[in-house]
Amino acid sequence: MIMCGFDRLRRSAAVVAIAVAAVCGIGRAAGDASPWEGNDRTAVRLIAGSSGAQEFIRAGIEIRLKPGWHTYWRYPGDAGVPPRLDFTASQNVDTVRVLWPAPRRLTEEGLSVIGYAEDVILPLVVVPRDRTKPAMLRLAIDYAVCERLCVPTQATAELALTGAPSSHDDMLVQALGRVPKRLALGEASPLAVKSIARESASTPARVIIEVAGPANVDVFAEGPSPEWALPLPIALAPSAPGVARFAFALDGAPPGVRYEGALITITAVMAGEAVETVVPIP
Which pLDDT does position 145 carry in this prediction?
97
Give the separation between CA 30 and CA 245, rounded to whole angstroms. 49
DSSP category for residue 29 = G
Other Cβ atoms less than 10 A from the Cβ of 255: the count is 5
CA distances from 257 to 74, 253, 261 (A): 22, 6, 11
Give the separation between CA 274 and CA 271, rounded to whole angstroms. 8
Check for a shared fold between 8-177 and 181-280.
yes
Q: Which fold has domain 181-280?
A: Immunoglobulin-like (2.60.40)
Residue 154 sits at the vertex; the CA angle it makes with 150 and 159, to the nearest 5 degrees, is: 140
Taking 50 as the pLDDT cut, the residues of the chain under it are 1-30
Candidate CATH numbers 2.60.40.1250, 3.30.70.3270, 3.65.10.10, 1.10.10.10; the one for domain 8-177: 2.60.40.1250
Which pLDDT does position 6 carry in this prediction?
33
Any idea where the domains of the chain sit in the sequence? 8-177, 181-280
Give the separation between CA 142 and CA 61, rounded to whole angstroms. 13
Beta strands in the chain (DSSP E): 37-38, 42-48, 57-65, 70-77, 84-86, 93-98, 104-108, 111-116, 120-128, 135-146, 150-161, 181-182, 192-199, 206-212, 218-222, 234-240, 243-249, 263-270, 273-280
Which pLDDT does position 29 carry in this prediction?
40
Residue-wise pLDDT tens digits, 77-91: 999 999 999 999 999
